[in-house]
Structure 1
């Protein structure tokens, strides 16, 4: 199940605490209209996105059918919209609906399965849009607002409120590891995927992507805006993301696994499989190696390795330290583009 939220700039000021200070419950109870004003600013920029797939009717004529409904947030007045990749994946076309009743044919500008982000565009100008914020300033316990098309209910987007429960979370979703996630207890429901999570300054600080599947968990996750922004920018420019790769399959190493298997390192990323013609193999890496450091960044598990690699681009040379029986070795690896 996924979630969504959104926000939009207007001329109405929103009283908020001094930047850099945590937002606490007292600030909200003293100004009960703070969330109302955030919702009024944000809600006009939250859109519904209906994915359509073409099938043939009994007369072999093409007929578009709805294959899914999600949310998105307009972040540019000229029609650029952020959503999740899984909202539009496999769609032949998309239809975008605004809370004011307008509807547009959308064009999928670009998608990225690994980050579960996508950019959609509608041909319109002067649209309500959301200001993108700085998620690095978030603090645990800060109030946040989620807005999205929950359950595809009529009457426009739904607004829910919660707090930042944790930062820098990661989950495995759809075969991918999503990291740099914001955890929140703002209520989210099917249909909310792809919308933004908003702070009380009226800024989008996350793109909601999933909820915990455990019964009664009440926990949702949003891709941090600082993590999403570079992906969104590249999708808007190029329509795709070009990432470097090492040519390996990896497994996280823990102290208990290392002890049970007699591994040469108590933490890191174990190379379970390696492509013989891949960058790491050509630099001298081999299956069974444990990657323990990338440049000067210690690697504790697969997630920390992914985060370290996200700082690099194709053509960079990185120093990767591996632990193997007999000691440690640092390999100079020239990064290449990940194959499609």
Structure 2
């Protein structure tokens, strides 16, 4: 399923809005017959003190307003957009989405007590749709990041964000984890290890937190389907945290390069090429004289593990690879012409 890019910041100009996902795949309606939801223990029981958690978390959630410059043939036009951010340090570092502040000439941040600040861009990362900005302030309230790897479908979560740029404070929505480890295809590239939730993520919520029942951020809201209700996506905290740290320290993210292109091994691909393996990364291209080439990998091989960690899909392979440093030596387990092999590869720097 291909997803055109999605962005959930609000903007007064329809053409200036980053397009949301369009899908015709979700057409079936589900009707609950005689469900008696009012008597359901899942509805009547207070599963966690939501209002108390919201009160604590919203102190670390900010509204972001931006001036968006659109290039015309003869003139440049400035429009207004809005998004959400999360305070991650008491001295003013804030994480949000890349698409919230791209092409902007001015960023204004409003914190929970009503004070407004101008913000400067610290660093951007297109591959994860994340950005860090900074305001000159101190003694700010921050929020703890939780472990997204422990999430399971059905876990309760809530979101807070500057939905539609509405005045009067942030909007709160509530739902569950619908899926984990999703790959979301966008016009800027694939987003990996995404969290799927049915908690409403509306325009303006981009960059806001997806919060667990402990009041911890386990995702950063990024995407929605326009063609279906209850399908939104967040960048997982396990992906976001190292990116945020790199942006603060270096203003960019330096990722290792393995020097190959690949795709998920499907049953169709496995049968067509007689691979003898059901899953893994099917190598489709090798960069000449690159790390994979030097490690003797070739087109048609199937990578099954890195340093003993299985790589059944690209959504597992790339985040795992990005966890290593340039210059690291990794042991790659792979299948070549139905034979299991092992090679060592020295990771290079991604340009």
Same fold, judged at TM 0.5 (above): yes
Of 48, 52, 57, which aligns to 1:37? 52
> Cα deviation per residue 1:71-108 (whole Å; 9 max; x = unaligned)?
11112121111111221223344221224332211111
Query: CA–CA distance in 2 between the matches of 1:315 and 1:209?
Result: 32
Tell me the TM-score normalised to structure 1 length.
Answer: 0.82
Q: 8 Å contact 1:268–1:299 — kept in the other structure?
A: yes
* Counterpart residue number, 2:97: 84
| 1:147 partnered with 2:179 | no
Gaps of 5+ in 1: 5-24
Give the superposed CA RMSD: 2.9
Q: Distance in 1 between matches of 2:8 and 2:43?
A: 23
Q: CA deviation at 1:135?
A: 2.9
Q: Does the 8 Å contact 2:145/2:237 carry over to 1?
A: yes
Cross-structure match for 2:29: none
State the distance in 2 between where 1:110 and 1:77 align. 18
Q: Which deviates further from its counterpart, 184-193 or 271-280?
A: 271-280
Q: Give the superposition deviation at 1:31.
A: 4.7
Q: Deviations over 1:166-217 (max 9, x none)?
A: 333332234433233222111111111111011232222211111234x223
After superposition, residues 165-184 of structure 1 pair within 5 angstroms as: 165-184=178-197
Select which of 264, 269, 274 maps to 1:252. 264
Stretch moving more, 224-233 or 241-250? 224-233
CA distance, structure 1, for counterparts of residue 186 and residue 69 of structure 2: 27
More displaced, 128-137 or 313-322? Answer: 128-137
- Tell me the distance in 2 between the aligned counterparts of 1:2 and 1:170: 16
8 Å CA contact retained: 1:177, 1:303: no
Alignment-derived partner of residue 320 in structure 1:
332
Separation in 1 of the partners of 2:71 and 2:274?
Answer: 58
Q: Distance in 1 between matches of 2:301 and 2:245?
A: 35
State the shift of 1:289 in Å. 2.5
Unaligned runs of 5+ in 2: 1-5, 10-39
Corresponding residue number in structure 2 for 1:270: 282
Distance 1:141 1:250, change over 3 A: same
Q: How does 1:41-190 map to 2 (within 5 A)?
A: 41-53=56-68, 65-66=78-79, 68-190=81-203
Q: Tell me the TM-score normalised to structure 2 length.
A: 0.80
